[in-house]
Structure 1
Amino acid sequence: MSESRARPSATNLSHRRSLHTQTTEEAPLSSPAPGHVPLRKQLKDEAKKAKAAGKKKKKKKNATNQVVPGWELTVGIEIHAQLNTAKKLFSEATTSFHDESNSHVAYFDLATPGSQPRFQKETLIPALRAALALNCDVQPVSRFDRKHYFHWDQPSGYQITQYYEPFARDGRILLQPRDGIAAEDGDGLAVRIQQVQMEQDTAKTMAQPGETHWVDFNRNGVPLIEIITRPDIHHPATAAALVRKVQILLNAVDACVSGMEAGGLRADVNVSVRRQSDDHPSDEPLGTRTEIKNLSSFKAVEDAIIAERDRQIAVLEAGGTIAGETRGWSIGATETRRLRGKEGEVDYRYMPDPDLLPVVVGDDLVAHLRGILGQLPDAEVDELTEVFGLTAKDALSLVALDGGARVEYFWRVVESLQAKLGSGSGNIANIAEHPTCFQLAANWILHELGRLTSNPHDASAQDLGFTPDGQCRRVPVDCLADIVVFLYRRRITAKVAKELLWVVYRGTVPAQYASVADAIETEKMWFHELSEEEYAELADQAVEGQEDIVSLFADFKQYPQGKLMFLVGRMMRLGYEERIDPKNAESTMRRLLEEKYVPALGGRQEES
């Protein structure tokens, strides 16, 4: 439950620079004493050593740092996720994350004498959705236990959790290469989930200057699920991929409040190593594990595992032993650090909570939730890649962004595009008639919309305002569909399309213009492309005085594409950009170079 930060410092070698620099009467300046090393040479040698040491310490890229020869890494993960509920787990206080501190606190949250926990049954629904998304078996009966430890963020002296009888067991997550697993895991692997349990969150500690800490009890009692995996992971990148996929799954079924980036999901990783050879894989038991607490980003998961793996290997190779302990990690660090000795079951003194009844879940409720769970991310990514031809990377990004709201927006844009293209709204089969148009829409939803809010110097840049049902407050569905259709049909240029997107984002449509089409008409931004003759005339002007460049196209071993684009750029600058299609300009320039400019230049050279 603790959080911490640190960073190592570099070594200063300046105190070593005065060695062997003094002279004596017996050893004049012109005749150095035997063994004397001039200061300049000392400095040069030390600089070389420092540079070499720096190279040795240079951090390897994670992609090439997944395996240490002769050693096997084993990782188990515990993921804590805040459930999407209106009430706390054992009180009717409202869940709050951004309100005034200590403004949503019940008597039980403060462990006030005489107060009793009252299980809020509605908190079970998102927990069950999460369990189903993780392919778990929902248990008909589960019970709550007390986990005893003392800290200021836990006023009762214990946390209520489900240690002995959790509400879900025996799940599995299938990880594929597109999920970002290590290359060493090949075509993928299944990670088993031991159990999923409900538990209450602790209060939030806020450090103040000096030794002062403030405690906000708004978070105390917020419902969590803890997802505990089996030790099936053997590569750091795969561990990060698992946490990422769990977040996507929880968002997809509306079980989680927010992801790692907003503090709604945290991961603890258990790391151990043991010796192994390729010829004789080790059948020894797993090594002593250490736990790294409260990792708050996917990169932190991977980096911390690599650092702890390397630390344990170094200790064992030096003849030492690994102590079971809890360790911490700071963003940007290169080493984990010890926090405390590892607590065990005996230390926590788990016991059934005497104030809470068992939780009984009916098969009818599980069947109902399974029936309305909807399409899970893997199936959705498959559809985006197979039907629309998106890359796996783009499809995954679309599904993951904005907690799943971005992909819902994409589906609404698809429906609008189908209506505007006359291909029948909602008919997936008709998408094959205009595949480029839908790919263009996906690209704009992923990239162009992101650029609207990416300028840190733009004070007016605001959140796009996506809603879970796929609406966008700043860029309405039909407005984006209009821009994409006009661009796809080449009725506007890409430059005009981007300007129109800004106009929509700023609210000028519909405040000043009735629609996107009205803005184009009013501002005379329709694309009236040059004729073939006009393109040719513009090309003639662009090559005028550029004989040296044109001559490069006469005899080449590698086509001078960069010089071709230089000439096309001259065409764009000499003409009316709003009437030029860059692809057609390039095609015209390439054709005229072959048919006209190069032959003409060669003829003049022969005559001279």
Structure 2
Amino acid sequence: MPRIRAAALSRYLLHGQFSARGCLRAQPRILPPILRNPLPATTTCFSQARAIHVESNNAPLPVHVPLRKQLKDEAKKQKALGKKKKKNANNQVVDGWELTVGIEIHAQLNTAKKLFSAATTSFNDDPNSHVAYFDLATPGSQPIFQKETLIPALRAALALNCDIQNTSRFDRKHYFHWDQPSGYQITQYYEPFARDGRIALKPRDGVAAEDGDGVLVGIKQIQMEQDTAKTLAQPGDVHWIDFNRVGVPLIEIITLPDIHYPATAAAFVRKVQILLNAVDACVSGMEAGGLRADVNVSVRRSDDPSAPLGQRTEIKNLSSFKAVEDAVIAERDRQISVLESGGAVESETRGWSIGSTETRRLRGKEGEVDYRYMPDPDLAPVIIGDDLVNHLRQGMGELPDAEVDELIQRFELTPKDALSLVALDEGKRIEYFWNVIDLLAKRFGPSAKSPEYLPGYQLAANWVLHELGRLTSDRTEDAAQDLGFTEDGECLRVPAQHLSDILLYLYQRRITAKVAKELLWAVFRRRIPDEYPTIEAVLDEENLWFNELSEDEYVELAYAAAEGQDEVVKQFVDYKHYPQGKLMFLVGQMIRLGAEERIDPKAAEMVMKRVLKENLVPAIKD
């Protein structure tokens, strides 16, 4: 077949115009809408590439709907239809059936260049502004493996306990779609760079209760491959194509079929994301589109463990941990229903929508033969030296499991809180926490490791985890603003120094919790340091230091709060269960009657409890 001219290829790629000359059989072709109705286009030239940005002056830009709102809207819709989802915690097992799940995770590597071209990796820049000739499959262009892309891939493989292969090779996986200009994807199907990994999932990782003390999930292989273009759906069955993402380096993590419960599948994906973030291998997590999961689901009857696994189906491009669990449950139930009705499960690819209760068929499942894998003739083998692997292994640092263990043992945090600290903000919040701890330790002095300061460190963990989160969740227009955590553990909106000052004064009971929260809010709104240079300056100028009531004043206030509350006080006589609620009612009365800025609720509670026991209750008995 004669060589295709560059002009003909350009018309095909950019405008969907086919030439029938030289074809064995020329016949009318049914083209997808994006190719049947090309939009007016503008062509912009760049340093090493010519790319196209298809745009419409009349089409409105799509409105971004936050994921949380999408889930709420879908839940309302399902409720209106009378469909109520069963709680996932109670939906891990179906009697008489065994579920088997395998997972494929695609993660975008944190690199400056693309996999086979020197074009810059881009995620938020103008569409088609970082495209090389090879990215568009321009005739005559050749792939050039960018060696630096191997480093984050190796870090990821080491974090997942894989064996690094000294020699790996690239293959071509053939398929046609408008987001793949060359008609094939370059991947490592036959000889990947990493094999035989494993991840240990513990109960604290969120596995199903049926997994007991945990489960070991095997990783068959990890392979490097190139990403496709980004498709932007527009109103009116129109799609825009952004070629910036073509050739962005990915790793594909392929597990063994070791997962048997939906919650464990979600826990595995979550654990992988945490590990990739910890070693700085991945650009971003699922919520930002930097990590995508495909799950393979099959079922078989549990009365014959020796029977082969059932026919599997694949659910593509799941974009949240909840979607992983929900989709596995929905597909499991669908397959069981098909088999119980006498049908057969087909090998197919299925899709999933946010908040849905059912998977949907997309297409028949392709196999190895359909993709026509073949070694890429333009790329040499990748040779990885043991010295490089050892160097990266020694520089890995502390992985999340070890860090979670330290948080639990050193600060007595709950596993849930420890995991949240490590996982939030792609690992940046835990670095911020350690910076706050270091600043507090300096203020505590030489005995900072003494057990007496443990409540101060626990207070820091609580505020970093919860109080900072409230700043961006429920405060007017500022709720949408980002806290701005940096790689070195600083926070642009709440510097570690300011938070450590607030926590120190709160721990020392020199300010109240209410004042501390207002100070945090003032820092977030930049009133500190714009209006006041330091936390101490605010407290001095506004007279916000805690001038606590004396013991005698607390007692006097307790008597005043109990006055006229004889029926409440009687609840403390001959009780079977201590009436804590009634006690807090009386403490609330104390706070309302006294000067709130001078009352410590815990001290008020202790005084009221003592006054009741020693004076008020005996008086009623007499």
- 1:416 aligns with one of 439, 451, 458: 439
State the partner residue of 1:150: 176
Check the 8 A contact 2:75/2:355 in 1, yes or no.
no
Task: Give the whole-Å Cα distance in 1 for the aligned partners of 2:239 and 2:534.
Answer: 54
Are 2:418 and 1:399 equivalent residues in the alignment? no
Task: Give the whole-Å Cα distance in 1 for the aligned partners of 2:219 and 2:539.
Answer: 55
Are 2:114 and 1:88 equivalent residues in the alignment? yes
Check the 8 A contact 1:455/1:461 in 2, yes or no.
no
Task: Give the whole-Å Cα distance in 2 for the aligned partners of 1:8 and 1:246.
Answer: 28
State the partner residue of 2:524: 505
Check the 8 A contact 2:349/2:365 in 1, yes or no.
yes
State the partner residue of 2:295: 269
Tell me: CA distance 1:431–1:354, structure 2 relative to 1, closer, same or farther (3 Å).
farther
State the partner residue of 1:233: 259
Check the 8 A contact 2:165/2:195 in 1, yes or no.
yes
Task: Give the whole-Å Cα distance in 2 for the aligned partners of 1:481 and 1:103.
Answer: 43
Are 2:188 and 1:162 equivalent residues in the alignment? yes
Given residue 432 of structure 2, which amino acid in structure 1 is its aligned partner?
Y
Residue 239 (structure 1) shift: 0.5
Task: Give the whole-Å Cα distance in 2 for the aligned partners of 1:431 and 1:334.
Answer: 53
Residue 8 (structure 1) shift: 10
Task: Give the whole-Å Cα distance in 2 for the aligned partners of 1:222 and 1:424.
Answer: 51
Check the 8 A contact 2:226/2:246 in 1, yes or no.
yes
Residue 602 (structure 1) shift: 4.4
Tell me: CA distance 1:264–1:274, structure 2 relative to 1, closer, same or farther (3 Å).
same
Check the 8 A contact 2:217/2:259 in 1, yes or no.
yes
The secondary structure found in structure 2 opposite 1:434 is helix
State the partner residue of 1:333: 356
State the partner residue of 2:463: 444
Q: Which runs of 5+ in 2 are unaligned?
A: 1-69
State the partner residue of 1:38: none
| CA offsets 1:103-140 (integer angstroms, 9 cap, x no match) | 11111111111111111111110000000000001111
Task: Give the whole-Å Cα distance in 2 for the aligned partners of 1:103 and 1:576.
Answer: 62
Check the 8 A contact 1:145/1:161 in 2, yes or no.
yes
Given residue 349 of structure 2, which amino acid in structure 1 is its aligned partner?
T
State the partner residue of 1:523: 542
Are 2:393 and 1:370 equivalent residues in the alignment? yes
State the partner residue of 2:89: 63
Are 2:239 and 1:213 equivalent residues in the alignment? yes
Residue 553 (structure 1) shift: 2.4
State the partner residue of 2:577: 558
- In the superposition, the TM-score normalised over structure 2's length comes to 0.86
Check the 8 A contact 1:388/1:431 in 2, yes or no.
no
Are 2:553 and 1:538 equivalent residues in the alignment? no
Residue 460 (structure 1) shift: 7.0
| CA offsets 1:338-391 (integer angstroms, 9 cap, x no match) | 110010011000011111111111111101100111100000000110111111
State the partner residue of 1:222: 248
| CA offsets 1:292-325 (integer angstroms, 9 cap, x no match) | 0000000110111111111111111111111101
Residue 100 (structure 1) shift: 1.1
Tell me: CA distance 1:215–1:416, structure 2 relative to 1, closer, same or farther (3 Å).
same
Residue 544 (structure 1) shift: 2.1
Residue 475 (structure 1) shift: 1.2
The secondary structure found in structure 1 opposite 2:182 is coil
Task: Give the whole-Å Cα distance in 1 for the aligned partners of 2:283 and 2:135.
Answer: 20
Given residue 340 of structure 2, which amino acid in structure 1 is its aligned partner?
E
Check the 8 A contact 1:417/1:481 in 2, yes or no.
yes
Task: Give the whole-Å Cα distance in 2 for the aligned partners of 1:171 and 1:303.
Answer: 26
Check the 8 A contact 1:307/1:335 in 2, yes or no.
yes
- 1:347 aligns with one of 364, 367, 370: 370
Given residue 184 of structure 2, which amino acid in structure 1 is its aligned partner?
Y
Residue 518 (structure 1) shift: 1.9
Given residue 380 of structure 1, which amino acid in structure 2 is its aligned partner?
E
State the partner residue of 1:129: 155
- 2:512 aligns with one of 493, 496, 502: 493
Task: Give the whole-Å Cα distance in 2 for the aligned partners of 1:573 and 1:148.
Answer: 74
| CA offsets 1:441-471 (integer angstroms, 9 cap, x no match) | 0000000011111126324752111111111
Given residue 62 of structure 1, which amino acid in structure 2 is its aligned partner?
N
Task: Give the whole-Å Cα distance in 1 for the aligned partners of 2:160 and 2:621.
Answer: 70
Check the 8 A contact 2:471/2:479 in 1, yes or no.
no
Task: Give the whole-Å Cα distance in 1 for the aligned partners of 2:382 and 2:238.
Answer: 40
The secondary structure found in structure 2 opposite 1:147 is strand
Check the 8 A contact 1:418/1:431 in 2, yes or no.
no
Larger displacement relative to structure 2 (526-535 or 129-138): 526-535
Residue 159 (structure 1) shift: 0.5
Are 2:481 and 1:455 equivalent residues in the alignment? no
Task: Give the whole-Å Cα distance in 2 for the aligned partners of 1:537 and 1:455.
Answer: 38
Task: Give the whole-Å Cα distance in 2 for the aligned partners of 1:282 and 1:598.
Answer: 66
State the partner residue of 1:473: 492
Q: Percent identity?
A: 73
Task: Give the whole-Å Cα distance in 2 for the aligned partners of 1:164 and 1:557.
Answer: 71
Task: Give the whole-Å Cα distance in 2 for the aligned partners of 1:254 and 1:433.
Answer: 36
Given residue 263 of structure 1, which amino acid in structure 2 is its aligned partner?
G
- Which consecutive aligned stretches of 4+ in structure 1 deviate over 4 angstroms post-superposition? 5-11
Tell me: CA distance 1:424–1:562, structure 2 relative to 1, closer, same or farther (3 Å).
closer
Tell me: CA distance 1:213–1:450, structure 2 relative to 1, closer, same or farther (3 Å).
same
Are 2:410 and 1:387 equivalent residues in the alignment? yes
- 1:195 aligns with one of 212, 216, 221: 221
State the partner residue of 1:110: 136
The secondary structure found in structure 1 opposite 2:390 is helix
State the partner residue of 1:140: 166
Given residue 576 of structure 1, which amino acid in structure 2 is its aligned partner?
A
Task: Give the whole-Å Cα distance in 1 for the aligned partners of 2:206 and 2:514.
Answer: 34
Given residue 260 of structure 1, which amino acid in structure 2 is its aligned partner?
M
Residue 578 (structure 1) shift: 1.4
The secondary structure found in structure 1 opposite 2:185 is strand
Given residue 463 of structure 1, which amino acid in structure 2 is its aligned partner?
D
Task: Give the whole-Å Cα distance in 1 for the aligned partners of 2:491 and 2:447.
Answer: 23
Tell me: CA distance 1:453–1:322, structure 2 relative to 1, closer, same or farther (3 Å).
same
Residue 519 (structure 1) shift: 1.5
Task: Give the whole-Å Cα distance in 1 for the aligned partners of 2:561 and 2:76.
Answer: 56
State the partner residue of 1:293: 316
Tell me: CA distance 1:329–1:460, structure 2 relative to 1, closer, same or farther (3 Å).
closer
Check the 8 A contact 1:423/1:431 in 2, yes or no.
no
Task: Give the whole-Å Cα distance in 2 for the aligned partners of 1:480 and 1:424.
Answer: 21
Residue 566 (structure 1) shift: 1.3
State the partner residue of 1:28: none
CA RMSD of aligned residues (A): 2.1
Q: Which runs of 5+ in 1 are unaligned?
A: 12-49, 604-608
State the partner residue of 1:37: none
Check the 8 A contact 2:155/2:392 in 1, yes or no.
yes
Tell me: CA distance 1:243–1:431, structure 2 relative to 1, closer, same or farther (3 Å).
farther
Are 2:99 and 1:99 equivalent residues in the alignment? no
Task: Give the whole-Å Cα distance in 1 for the aligned partners of 2:475 and 2:545.
Answer: 32
| CA offsets 1:49-101 (integer angstroms, 9 cap, x no match) | x99x95xx642211111111111111100000000011111111111111111
| CA offsets 1:13-36 (integer angstroms, 9 cap, x no match) | xxxxxxxxxxxxxxxxxxxxxxxx
Larger displacement relative to structure 2 (246-255 or 306-315): 306-315
Tell me: CA distance 1:63–1:8, structure 2 relative to 1, closer, same or farther (3 Å).
closer
Task: Give the whole-Å Cα distance in 2 for the aligned partners of 1:510 and 1:459.
Answer: 18
